[in-house]
Amino acid sequence: MDANDGYARNFLIPRKYAISEGGKEAQAIHAELKTDERQKRLELKHARRIAEIISSKTIEISKTANEKGHLYAGISPEEIAKAINQQLRIDCDPARIEIIESIKRTGNYKISFLCPEGEIKFTLNVVSRKT
């Protein structure tokens, strides 16, 4: 944005509404933006790789359940991400996992993995743990 020198020097810059164009602050902001863009590209690439791997897999979780197949505790996205990490050896962000229906019984469930191109569905198999 262009502003008169006096207005910028006396009002905008002291109140941190603006920075001088050639100053160190501007260089720091440009470097930070480049770093953010690079980080976003890496996250996007990682999410695509996970989606590609996970789309053809079935993840299995064993939990304690009663004789009728009712789980004593539901399954959270954090538990699913941990199972993906253990079974497929890839680091998965629990925030990208969307549970379509609550998981409170043993059986197969469709789970969504959110990636930039859309959501990828994979199968979660919940089995009863032998105690």
Q: What percent of the chain has pLDDT over 70?
A: 92
Judge whether residue 3 has pLDDT over 90: no
At the top level of CATH, the class of 57-128 is alpha beta
Q: Identify the residue with better confidence: 8 or 82.
A: 82
Output the pLDDT for position 44.
84
Give 10's pLDDT tier (boundaries 50, 70, 90).
confident
Using DSSP's 3-state secondary structure scheme, residue 114 falls into strand
Give 7's pLDDT tier (boundaries 50, 70, 90).
confident
Output the pLDDT for position 129.
84
Query: Do residues 84 and 19 lie in contact, with contact meaning Cβ atoms separated by under 8 Å?
Result: no
Contacts 24+ apart (CB under 8 A), 116-121: 116/44, 116/47, 116/48, 117/48, 117/51, 120/51, 120/54, 120/55, 121/55
Chain segment 98-121, per-residue pLDDT in tens? 998 889 999 999 999 888 778 889
Using DSSP's 3-state secondary structure scheme, residue 103 falls into coil
Domain boundaries, the chain: 5-45, 57-128
Output the pLDDT for position 19.
73
Chain segment 37-66, per-residue pLDDT in tens? 888 888 888 888 888 888 888 999 999 999
